[in-house]
Amino acid sequence: MRKPVALRLSAALGTLALAAATGVVLNMPTASAAAAGATGYATQNGGTTGGAGGTTVKATTGTQIHQALCARAATSTPITIQVEGTITVGNTAKVSGTGCNTAAGVIELKGISNVTLVGVGAGAVFDQIGIHIRQSSNIIVQNVTVQNVKKSGSPTSNGGDAIGMESDVHNVWVDHATLLASGGESEGYDGLFDMKDSTKYVTLSYSVLRNSGRGGLVGSSDSDLANGPVTFHHNRYENIDSRTPLLRGATAHIYNNYYVSLNESGINPRAGGKAKVDNNYFKNSKDVLGTFYTDLPGYWQVAGNIFDNVTWSQPGDENNPAGPNPTSNTTVSIPYAYTLDAASCVPSIVTATAGANTGLKVSDGNCAATTPTATPTSTSSPTTSASPTATSSPGGTNLSIGADSDGSSKASGTSYGNVRDGDTGTYWSPSGSTGSVSIKWGSATSVSRINLREASGATGNIGSWRVLNGDTGAVLTSGSGAGVISFAATSLKKVTFEITSSAAAPKVAEFETYA
């Protein structure tokens, strides 16, 4: 087993360590909750929406995070937990309840689904405590800092991983995170972003990974090969010894990342792992791509990358660097749409957007930073962006009459039943500017069209929306504005109309459904 070398830590890390030791929270700009949808492989396999459509709660300690999870009606009840302040081992206790399975000393997302954990206000710092995702799905972690998590020494948390995923995890989006350590394995730390034991459909975007012996892995051993696919884009890796990432048998799409000071090795596909490596910028680094520390080969497809002061070692029995002139030795098909920034602007655009407390800024695809508005999350099947125009009934039997209904929190004086009573004089309205309402049946019903009628005086209030298969959570279609919406005929027991933005208070008079 290769032993990690000592890290060449920057002076800035000393300041960070001092702040952590003294309990000082560095001043950070305010931040808000998630503003845009998932990207990359997290959009596949039904999509990743986290706690969308559920309640929102605030937490300032780890115990309060656990309490929010445990207070849910079920382990799948959607919830968004807004975190502000410093989370530590000392303020994170085990909590019991119907919606959770927690443990002390670690943020435990175990056996659950449909959760968003997002830093807000002055920022969320998980200091010496890791985030553990296990046997869970549809999870979003956004705008948080996780620092100095140890597997040895004191305190220990999460096996030394800043964010660790294992045991049948799927559809996770980690975005605008800052993951930091203060050294390598000999100093008590492990990986910053690890995935193992059947972890699938993950995206890491607009994040900073810094000052660690190990950036992260996909697959814990050469026999743990049922992980991935994973997307890494617009991340900054800096002062990392190796594993940016290590891919054991997994497929990864790696684009528009900025790598600075990779001290020993970088992207390391092995044991059949494949990496599509597009328009990245590598600077002041060594062996940034290849198969290292094993004789089990991996593969790569490369295009548009810039290698700025990169050195390459000589090939050997357990050392197969891709350089000094990297060429492709495989092809990787990507199933989702994406836009590449030019590699030449990657240092500037990633510096402007990546990490926690950057205002959730993203690239506009032309090397400029922008703050996104709420957008729907893609799914594994291409969806149409509907533009409804008709407001009259589309013809046929309105299947909503005689059905049942439910939804998210409703405004005072309104009812879910008002959307299925055939009376346009009554309506349902969410308690805020966004929310969801559903029509449901006792047995599977085929639906291919919806007619959304807004109440008198509220025409045009509904902005962007998504139509969801309430049985599976899959997005059937998305668009904006009320009217007739068509999509592929789907057999389901529940269909949900989710409003993700509005110009004013949305009021749904009728939610008509048709075969």
Cβ 148 vs Cβ 127: under 8 Å: yes
Cβ 295 vs Cβ 321: under 8 Å: no
- How far from 412 is each of 54, 157, 288, 416, CA to CA, in Å? 18, 44, 58, 12
For residues 136 and 449, give the distance between their C-alpha atoms in angstroms, rounded to a whole number: 32
What residues contact 498, with CB distance under 8 A and at least 6 apart? Answer: 52, 53, 434, 435, 436, 465, 466, 467, 468
Using CA of residue 346, residue 352, residue 358, residue 359, what is the dihedral sign? negative
Residue labelled with tokens 């998305």: 478
Q: Using CB atoms within 10 A of its CB, is residue 218 exposed (0-12), middle (13-18) or buried (19+)?
A: buried
Looking at 317-463, which runs of residues are DSSP E strands? Answer: 319-321, 362-363, 369-370, 385-386, 404-407, 435-454
Give the residue numbers annotated as catalytic, written as ranges. 243
For residues 60 and 307, give the distance between their C-alpha atoms in angstroms, rounded to a whole number: 43
Q: Using CB atoms within 10 A of its CB, is residue 455 exposed (0-12), middle (13-18) or buried (19+)?
A: buried
Cα 238 versus chain centre, distance: 21
Q: How many CB atoms lie within 10 A of CB 173?
A: 29
Cβ 190 vs Cβ 214: under 8 Å: yes
Taking alpha carbons only, the member of 149, 150, 61, 57 closest to residue 102 is 61
Strands 306-311 and 107-110: unpaired
If you compute the radius of gyration of the chain from its CA atoms, what whole number of angstroms results?
24
Cβ 110 vs Cβ 137: under 8 Å: no
For residues 214 and 242, give the distance between their C-alpha atoms in angstroms, rounded to a whole number: 5
Looking at 106-168, which runs of residues are DSSP E strands? Answer: 107-110, 113-127, 131-134, 137-142, 144-147, 163-166
